[in-house]
Structures are given as C-alpha cells and as structure tokens.
Amino acid sequence: MTHASGERSALCDLFDRLGPDAPTLCTGWTTYDLAAHLVLRERRPDAMGGIALKPLAGYTAAVQNGLKAKHPYPELVGLVRRPGGIYGLLPVLDEAVNTLEYFVHHEDVRRAQPSWEPRELPADFDRLIWKRVSTGARLMLRRSPVGVVMHRLGGGVALGGPRHGSRVEVTGTASELLMFCFGRQEHARVELTGEPHDVDLLRGASLGL
C-alpha cells in the first residue's frame, strides 16, 4: 500500500465513522462537502479550475453541490475510496500527486474533532513529507508577509516568504510544518519565534498552494 492509498483509506474510514455533518478545517465545509470536493477533483476535470481561480469558483461550487444532490453521502465516500480519473489508471501519479492532498484533508477532518492528537508517522513517510515541504516551501509560503525559516525537528531547514526584512522561525515535525504551510496555521503544533507583530502576521496569512 502506498502512502497516498493509506491516507485515502484512513480518511474514508473516518468519513464513514463521523457521518455527513461533521466539521472540517475547510471553512464552511462538512465532511459531506469535503467528500464531494475530492470526487470533483478526480472525476470532474472540467470543474477543477475554480479550486484555484476565483472567476471559475461559481461553476466549481455548482458542480460540487450537484454531486451532493446526485449521490448520497455513503455513495460519495465510496467514490473517494476508489481513485478516479487518471489517478485510477496510473497509481504512480496517484502517489506523486495525492499523498500530501489526502494527508492534509485527513488531518482537516481529524483536527476538527475534539481531543485530537498528532499522529506518529512511519519514518519513510516523515522523510517524504519533509522532502515535499522543503522543495515546495517557496511556493507554499509565497504569500507570507514575512520571511520564514522552517526548522524540522530531527534535522532540516527550509526558507520561504520575502528574502529580505523580518523573519519568523517555525519549528516542528515535518507533518506539522506541512499543515502550517498549507494554511492550517492555527491547527499546526509548531513553535513560532520572532517579533510578536511578525508572528501575528504570519499566523493570519493566506498560505498554501
């Protein structure tokens, strides 16, 4: 089992356990909405543009709501459980593209529930996450108003944000740094060091892809 398929399976098991109305960290979305988003992302390429481009967001939202209207929640979860579109044909692409996507969305559901705790990940998964974070830091932190120096517990440093001016040090495990970089700052178990004003700016910034 790949890390992508493992996260996909674990997320779907959690979807099944919590039902359609549980909260997530995705603003305004329940588990039903998140399941519909994941189905859209893999099976409706015509509607994917609105995920990143605001002018197309209305169409994307309409398709996502249409998926909810067409499919009962258990059926949507079943569609998420099986890789769709090109990812179903090319498992290598599923692993390359969906590992972080499904990890983050799995955590979006876990961390919206009471009494969550960080998971202890296998060493190879931790290394993979850090590799993706360290190579993608400039992109994920491009909207940061201050420079960012990320320190991975266990070794590793990555830089992001403006190259000059104030900087904030962010320290945590690879998975917590990933959640931070994906815009889940308030739900990432990291330590921030810097001027209070700069720390507040970074916590409130719109980060992610």
Residue 194 identity (one-letter amino acid): G
Position 86 confidence tier, pLDDT thresholds 50, 70, 90: confident
Does 88 have pLDDT greater than 80? no
Q: What is the architecture of the domain spanning 123-203?
A: 2-Layer Sandwich (3.30)
- Residue 208's pLDDT band (cuts 50, 70, 90): confident
Decide: helix, strand or coil at residue 162.
coil
pLDDT tier, 186 (very low <50, low <70, confident <90, very high otherwise): very high
Q: Find where tokens 């944000």 sit.
A: 161
Instruction: Using DSSP bridges, classify how beta strands 157-160 and 167-172 pair: parallel, antiparallel or unpaired.
Output: unpaired
* 191-195 mean pLDDT: 96
The pTM score is 0.92
pLDDT surpassing 80 at residue 119: yes
d(C-alpha 107, C-alpha 24), whole Å: 9
pLDDT tens digit string along 49-75? 878 778 888 898 999 999 999 999 999
Instruction: Give pLDDT, residue 89.
Output: 72
For 17-33, the pLDDT digits (tens) are: 999 999 999 989 999 99
What's the length of the chain?
Answer: 209
Indicate if the pLDDT at residue 48 is higher than 90.
no
CA distance 87 to 189: 31
Q: How many CA atoms lie within 13 A of 183 on its CB side?
A: 15
List the chain domain ranges.
3-110, 123-203
Strand partners, 171: 151, 191
Res 52: pLDDT: 77
Q: Does residue 90 carry a pLDDT above 80?
A: no
Position 106 pLDDT exceeds 90: yes
- How high is the pLDDT of residue 54? 81
